[in-house]
Every structure is written in structure tokens, then in C-alpha cells.
Amino acid sequence: MNYHFITIEGNIGAGKTTLSHLLAKHYNARLVLEQFADNPFLSKFYENPQQYAFPLELFFMAERYKQLKELIHTKDLFHSVTIADYLYIKCLLFAKVNLPEAEFKLYQKLFEIINQQLVQPDILIYLHVPVTRLQSNIRKRNRPYEQSIPDEYLFNIQETYTHYIKQHNIKTIFIDAGNADFLGNEKHLQVIIDALQQDFEDGQHYFTLP
């Protein structure tokens, strides 16, 4: 496999972390997982988005930067592949949805300074899941602060992701994951593994699951 830094992205409840664990096990890869539960503003944001959106996004940006920055300074002699369950650009994408224009412009300036210092992934795996399935997954994992997320918010996040990926021609394995069961169906995981054997050009490369 030619990819040494793989990032998995998707909407809230798309199955990013589950797939990251499975691929890390398959490739004996170093696994980088977002520590979202450490954000003290997360539950407050869902209760009062206008008041807590800016500190929420600043905290996420700082913590993700700290985590990914370590990849530059630490070499793992036992793992040739690193898999992360988030792309750093998600900071900017969520901020675009959550922040008013003036705050977003300030946030964007900070993001652009920080993003230049980070290693960018070799390839992105994007899990595209319909909002109805996302809501079902969110209910199943039963995090209290997520249970009232409106459909419109998930639609906005989905549109922001797909627009950015297409606009910037990111090298992406784009998975139609509406029926995904990576834990229970080995064929679904095999589609991802087979795709990663290919040497892709920049742009989106679409796959469906059997």
C-alpha cells in the first residue's frame, strides 16, 4: 500500500471511529482518535449554540493541532501507517456552519496559520451516510448531548463536507455508506481495503458497499 497517512471523515454518526479501529488493526497502524469528550463546551454548545460555538471550535482546533503536531515530532518505529478518524480541515468546516460571519473570519485566519504547520494525509476516506441513518446511529450510541441534533444541522454539515472535498479536488475514496456494517459484514470492510491498494489520482473515487 502506498498510503502512509490515512484520514477517515464523515458526518456525526457516520462510523468514522469504528472503521478507523478496524483498519488500524488490519494494517497494524498507529491510530489517532479525536478526543471529543475532553471538550468542556460540547454539551453546552448543544444546549446554547450561539453562546458556546466560538469557544467550542477554538478548543477543538487547539486540541486537534496538539494531537496532529506530535505526528511530525514522533517517529513510530513499529508502525509504517497512521490512521486518523478526523481531517484537520473539519475545524474550518464545522466553524463555517456554527459561527456567525465575523467570528468565522477571525477563526479562519487562525486556522490558516496553524494548518500550514501540519502534515497532510496521503488520502481521505469519506463515509457518506443519509441523515436518517445518521440519526439512527446517533440514537444507538446514546450520547445524551447528541440526542436533539436537528436534521437540518446534519444536512448542513454534509453539504459543507462534500462541497469542500469537490472544490479542492482532495484525493478521496468516497464511500456510499448508507448500509455500512463494518463490524458485522466483512465484505464491507474489504471494499475499503481493496480500494486502498489502488494508486489514485487527485479527486473523488466512488465506491458502493455490497
C-alpha cell belonging to residue 193: 481495503
Choose, from 85, 122, 181, 199, the residue flagged as catalytic. 85
85 noted as active-site residue: yes
Separation between Cα atoms, residue 208 and residue 92, nearest integer Å: 28
Centre a 10 Å sphere on the Cβ of residue 120 and count the other Cβ atoms it contains: 13
The CA angle 153-156-162, to the nearest 5 degrees, is: 140
**Long-range contacts, 190-199 (Cβ 8 Å, 24+):** 192/19, 192/23, 192/125, 193/23, 193/26, 195/125, 196/1, 196/3, 196/6, 196/123, 197/1, 199/2
For the annotated catalytic residues, the residue numbers are: 85
